[in-house]
């Protein structure tokens, strides 16, 4: 027996909840909210079983925004290249730590 709500009810709950309920998984973070909404909209449109395959790109974008693995790898590569060239390593700061194309 499937215990999930139909898509219509999921959409109504999402619409009426608005900002009262924080987004799934990310707490009150505004940075990834758009990507998160795209992912959950895709999942609710296709259903969970089919959506796992159809919404893989949205899920990867959302996870990258939250975890920032690619940004950290870019930062490590930039620092090692600057070290090879004998230049000073860039200071840590918000502009360098959170440099992702998802803003």
Residue whose C-alpha is closest to residue 61's, from 85, 79, 34:
34
Judge whether residue 89 has pLDDT over 80. no
Judge whether residue 4 has pLDDT over 50. yes
**What is the band of 57 on the pLDDT scale with cuts at 50, 70, 90?**
very high
- Tokens of residue 56, six digits: 């893989």
Give Cα 6 to chain centroid, integer Å: 25
What value does the mean pLDDT take over residues 48-56? Answer: 90
Judge whether residue 34 has pLDDT over 80. yes
What value does the mean pLDDT take over residues 71-92? Answer: 85
pTM higher than the cut 0.75: no
- Secondary structure, 3-state, 1-41: CCCCCCHHHHHHHHHHHCCCCCCCCCCCCCCCHHHHHHHHH
């Amino acid at each position: 027996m499937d215990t999930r709500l139909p898509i219509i009810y999921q959409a109504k709950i999402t619409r009426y909840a608005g900002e009262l309920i924080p987004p799934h998984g990310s707490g009150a973070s505004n940075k990834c909210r758009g990507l998160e909404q795209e992912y959950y909209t895709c999942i609710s449109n296709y259903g969970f079983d089919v959506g796992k395959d159809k919404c893989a790109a949205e899920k990867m974008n959302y996870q990258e925004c939250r975890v920032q693995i690619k940004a950290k790898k870019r930062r490590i590569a930039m620092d090692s290249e600057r070290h090879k060239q004998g230049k000073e390593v860039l200071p840590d700061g918000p502009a360098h730590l959170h440099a992702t194309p998802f803003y």
